[in-house]
Structure 1
Amino acid sequence: MRIYITSVFVSDQNKAKDFYTKVLGFKVKNDVPVGEFSWLTLVSSEDENGTELLLEPAAHRAVGPYREALKADGIPAASFAVDDVQAEYERLTGLGVKFTQDPTDAGPVTVATFDDTCGNLIQISSYQR
């Protein structure tokens, strides 16, 4: 068994697609219109056959309270691995990304958390080898 698709709820799929591709560097794998939304999945530019990230519309009534509670408590909706959290923090900060947690050593990992502009906190992490 392996992870095929995971998702984050987004308030605006087009805005999310722009942020996740132009700022974070993901690539669009699928963008298939489905009514007023799309089946919109992205992949890492470093692993185009890897796990897909679904930018899921946040239209369901349960999503708003769920995301608000996570965000209020500082809990990331997803975590992405990077080689160097400090370098990625500097790159993203230079692109205008707002971090809610600066790079922090947390035992065997370094983590930082940012706002994805689409309703979520996203964590980046790297294992210290």
Structure 2
Amino acid sequence: MAAPRPIRQSIGSVTVLVRDYDEAIDWYTRVLGFLLLEDTDLGHGKRWVRVAPVGTDDGCALLLALASDEAQRRCVGAQAGGRVGFFLHTRDFARDFAALEARGVRFTEAPRHESYGSVVVFEDLYGNRWDLLGLKEDADDAG
């Protein structure tokens, strides 16, 4: 008997807990340059807010979710327990690093050039840690 064919799946959204919808939308769109994909009022102070990098097409988006109780509020800015929890890929590392630096993004280290590409760790408005990552194969494909 043949092995079953894998089901095609994808991750549509990943939740980022936020203190305030509007400040998070502003930061992700103005500072990181993400697109606001959706902002739907669900009533009772809840909204369905999704943002994603330009060029993501039908890839993964961030679901900005308002922290609604004390346990969730404690996780704002610490969703990955102090580790890098989010990875922003770029085909032009130097350009995007310079743009983020000019917009006041807080970097926790200097850029590094590793065997897989260039990387630098930065924090979002709440302190969640991100990698800006320029993989060598992406740079090769773009050139």
TM-score by length of 1: 0.82
Mapped to 1, the partners of 2:41 and 2:78 lie a distance apart of 30
Letter in 2 for 1:49: D
Runs of 4+ in structure 1 off by over 6 angstroms are none
Between stretches 102-111 and 23-32, larger displacement belongs to 102-111
Aligned length, in residue pairs? 128
Q: SS of 2:108's equivalent?
A: strand
Say which SS state the counterpart of residue 37 (structure 2) adopts: strand
Q: Distance in 2 between matches of 1:9 and 1:69?
A: 9
Asked if residue 3 in structure 1 is aligned to residue 24 in structure 2, the reply is no
> Structure 1 residues 93-102 or 104-113, which shifts more?
104-113
Partner of 1:91, secondary structure, is helix
Unaligned residue ranges in structure 1 (runs of 5+): none
> Following TM superposition, by how much is the alpha carbon of 1:61 offset from its aligned partner in structure 2, in angstroms?
3.3
CA, structure 1 residues 3+14, in 2 after alignment: closer, same or farther (shift >3 Å)?
same
Corresponding residue of 2:98: 90
Report the counterpart of residue 53 of structure 1 in structure 2: 62
Q: Report if aligned partners of 1:10, 1:120 keep a CA contact under 8 Å in 2.
A: no
Residue equivalent to 2:110: 102
**Does the aligned pair in 1 maintain the 2:13–2:61 contact within 8 Å?**
yes
Aligned residues with identical type, % of pairs: 26
Does the C-alpha gap of structure 1 residues 31 and 109 become closer, same or farther in structure 2, counting only changes over 3 Å? Answer: same
* 3-state SS, counterpart of residue 41 of structure 1: strand
**CA pair 2-71 structure 1, distance change in 2 beyond 3 A:** closer
CA root-mean-square deviation? 2.3
Q: Which has the higher contact order (CA 8 A, sep 6+)?
A: 1
The aligned amino acid for 2:48 is: W
TM-score, L = length of structure 2: 0.75
Per-residue deviation, 1:67: 5.1
Q: C-alpha offsets along residues 52-96 of structure 1, whole Å, 9 cap, x if unaligned?
A: 2111223343334445656774x1231111113232111111111
Equivalents in 2 of 1:107, 1:69: separation in Å? 28
Higher strand share: 1
Matched, 1:28 2:36: yes
Name which one, 1 or 2, has greater alpha-carbon Rg. Answer: 2
Amino acid at match of 2:52: V
Q: Is the 8 A contact 1:27 1:44 kept in 2?
A: yes
